[in-house]
Structure 1
Amino acid sequence: MPVHRIIRALSFRPALALTAMNSAQFPLHASDGPPAVRVMAQSDLPVALSLSEDVRWPHRPSDWKMLFQMGEGCVAEVGGAVVGVGMRWLWDERGASVGLLVVAPAFRERGIGSVLLEALCAGLDGRTVLLHAPGKLHRFYARMGFERIGEVHQYEGKALPAPLMALPEGCRLRPGGRNDLQLLVGMEQGARGVARPSLIQAWLRQSIGTVVLDHPDGPRGFAILRRFGRGAMVGPVVAPCAMSAKAMIAHLSGLVTGRVLRLDVHADGELEDWLGCLGLAHVADATVLARGTPASPTAPFLPFALADKALG
């Protein structure tokens, strides 16, 4: 039976100290009661992890913790037990992301996902909201005012020894680090149209390696390799062209040869055809959806790989 429920606006931040009820497990069988929606608390992270494991997401407890610390979320409860979760991240006054939306198998097809999405989007009318929908779920989001603007392809595999890659004339690679925070934030803002200092700062703390693409006329791009899931992940990747993106990705993949490596890349034939050289295979797709008008990239900065599929 579908759930029909009017969602009141949730006051996210003041309620983060709430204690979750039965947050370590959820019922095996659906009941007929409607869901109650409340703000997500840190004590809900174990059940969020369990729900994500059910759909074979690779997130570790530390991945959930970091994403929770950067954002805020809500949970759906039936009979006092958490049966669904979702999160959102507010970047600046213009942008937001919604993701990590997952519902327990026994409670799907009952409108709980719609209830959570409505709660997560409450109060975001002045912002452009982005999300990445796997498979055919983009039709579900379209009913909530989201429109398709692109596609993301997930690549994964055990990293092979990286080939040497040429750079555009005048460019060179150098190591990046925490002292480059503002520089990296500015380049990513040029590529995506929103400033995300909290994300870049968190990624630098988790970094296995960071590389900056320098040019006499100023920096042109960067890429971060961090620990994630079953291995490591490269992203974000910001560059002026596919040639530069390849050089940075090859450099970072060489740091984790033999380990599981993942990239979530914007659909790009030239870059994708080359990723097989690193031992990576195309394993999944996601539709990029937006509610509102996303900003266009500012030259020379173009986005090639996501920081994270949930965040964009």
Structure 2
Amino acid sequence: MTDFQRSIKEKFPEFSKSQKKIAKFLLDEPHQFAIKSADQIGKEVGVSETTVIRFCYSLDYNGFSELQKKVREALLMQKSSLDQYYSNKLELLNEPHFFAHVMEQDCQNIKRTAAQMNEKDVQQAVDHLIFGEQILISGLRSSFAAAHWLSFTLGLMRENVFLYKSDTDGLGAALDRLNADSVLVAISFHRYLRETINMAKLAKQRGATVIGITDSPLAPIHKFADVLLTIAPSGKSTLDTTPSLFSLLNAIVAKVSVQDKQRFENRKQQYESLDIRHLFYEE
């Protein structure tokens, strides 16, 4: 538990009705608190900007900026995803219908991601994926499955889509593909791997467009991303963002297929013209 969380817990009974609204917003939506102004947060919860600032004083901070800084630091230094994942699932252990509960949580996380999604940013990412000369996709460790899925599925829609595999591909060779007409999709979730961040930095230096997909607007990848798509875990393990991540990627690929219709039709005809009977089992 962070200092500000501990302080809220201790002082919550003493808070006014307005302060309790702000406290609940901070505990439920720390990622939003970390990036919005005091005025924006006030409008979000239905109180004045002054009330938000006074709330910060009530927690013994020197003002809004100091509390916001502490929230940002807490988000970037959170517990390991595995620990959070286990703790969250342990709470459901004695509940009936364990599997249904876990799947329902996934559904709620997807709905939450859809509600918070900035469609202009997603559309901008789609445009880059359509018009980029070539696409390099990078996601390591827990993000590799999503990167692999995106590279395979997007590769069905268009040519020149490559997956970065750290165990076989050299970083230099991968970056040699990139130029001002290229796009790097970098998937980076807590804990943020240096290799992915460095790749985004070097890709940016080569003039490539960088699409960052991550779990926080404050994640290190944001420094190098031309387009940043975030899936906030709301205090849960980043492992629990996986269904939301795949859902977002599926939505992106779906838009690419219908927006770039002619190229998709050409690719489909190419596949249909191939003799692939030896690849699939048939009765």
Q: TM-score, normalised by structure 2?
A: 0.29
Larger radius of gyration: 2
Q: TM-score, normalised by structure 1?
A: 0.27
Structure whose residues are more often helix by fraction: 2
Structure whose residues are more often strand by fraction: 1
